[in-house]
Amino acid sequence: MTTHRASTPEVVFPLRRDRAGWRAVYKLGNERGRCPFQCKFCGVGNSPRVTSAENMALFDALHARHLATLDGPYHAAIFNRGNVTDRGAFSQATLDHVLETFVRDPRVTCLSLNSREVTATADVLDELAARQLPCPLHFIFGQESFTRNAQLILGKNNQGELERFIEKLQPYNTACPPTPERKKHVFGLDVNLVFLPELYLDLGESRHGHEEKIAAGFAAEVRQLLALAHPLVPIHINLHPFYPVASLPYEPADLFMLVRMLPVLQQLVDTHNRRSKANPTQLFVGVVFATQPDTATAPRLVRLQALLDEFNRTGRLPAA
């Protein structure tokens, strides 16, 4: 019997609900072992190299775990500690196995693949479009931030990349009109914005006492993303709070601060959707508690997760 190495850390992303149903995350391995982008805040960099067989076995194990709970429509998001659209990091055999699994399940409302714009080449997009999947396929793109501080703080150079990605996807949604009932477009984007207060503060400036400045900065990020949105390329916005990484000297983001900002951010999205004739933009907060909370913090985290779950399902926060 073959033993497959784990190609994912101990953190297993729990199933969450949004307005479209369940959101199932599959964090798989990098079959090259090294991500060429080397963004210093990401932590992927030099991942353990895994084989296609190991990746497929891990996917099957995660999917079996999810299937025990998935009792309705779900959106599946595939990560590989790199880029799923990079055939050296995620082989054709692995991709075929993953996509064929979801094609057989009519509950899947959307499939998302982690990708940078440069690895989503014309050949990759042509091949994926030719599959005529029964649901939309989105690319998970880590914009993270539009601020001038972003490259210095995060070590990620993606200037202009989102605009190029949007432009690249438009022709497929025009030339390949979808036909199945649950497929309203061919390609879309799931765009990540990181909530890291230092992106909106001056060098050495404390978070304490500057919540309004931080909130204004994060709202500006959402406005800029909405301004770039194109009617032909639907966008889901994932707000993900910063968690400590060894390469950066910052504390974790205050999640209750983020919760206080959510009504304003949702209002921006609602206003955009009323003005747009395209598929509505969605807002989602992805949070994973990587460690088991101790007795002192557990009630606070339970309350926090309840607030975020309600927001993700309804776009509103529960009454106090």
Q: Average pLDDT in the 143-171 region? A: 92
208 vs 227: CA distance, rounded Å: 30
Q: In Å, what is the CA distance from 153 to each residue of 27, 48, 150, 200, 238?
A: 25, 25, 5, 11, 20
Q: Where are the domains of the chain?
A: 16-314
At which residue do the structure tokens 């353990």 appear? Answer: 48
Residue 236 and residue 188 in contact, taking contact as beta carbons nearer than 8 Å: yes
Render 226-243 in DSSP notation, one character per residue.
HHH-BTTB-EEEEEEE--
Distance, in Å, from the CA atom of 70 to the CA atom of 55, rounded to the nearest integer, reads 21
Q: What percentage of the chain exceeds 90 in pLDDT?
A: 67
Is the four-CA dihedral 229, 231, 234, 236 of positive or negative sign?
positive
User: Over pLDDT 70: what percentage of the chain?
Assistant: 87
User: What's the pLDDT tens digit per position in 176-187?
Assistant: 666 656 678 999
Q: What whole-number distance in Å separates Cα of residue 183 and Cα of residue 137?
A: 9
Q: What pLDDT, in 10s, does the model give residues 274-291?
A: 998 777 899 999 876 645
Nearest to 286 by CA among 71, 61, 17: 17
The pairing of beta strand 108-114 with beta strand 16-18: unpaired
Cα–chain-centroid distance for residue 312?
A: 14
pLDDT above 80 for 163 = yes
Asked if residue 316 has pLDDT above 70, the reply is yes
Please tell me the class of the 16-314 domain.
Answer: alpha beta
Average per-residue pLDDT for the chain:
88
Q: Is the pLDDT of residue 225 over 70?
A: yes
Integer Cα distance of 216 and 141 in angstroms: 23
Which amino acid appears at position 242 of this protein? F
What are the C-alpha distances in Å from 94 to residues 8, 60, 100, 107, 124? 15, 11, 10, 21, 14
Report residue 1's pLDDT band, with 50, 70 and 90 as the boundaries.
Answer: very low
**Residue 211 buriedness (CB in 10 A; 0-12 / 13-18 / 19+):** middle
CA–CA separation, 41 vs 255, rounded Å?
19
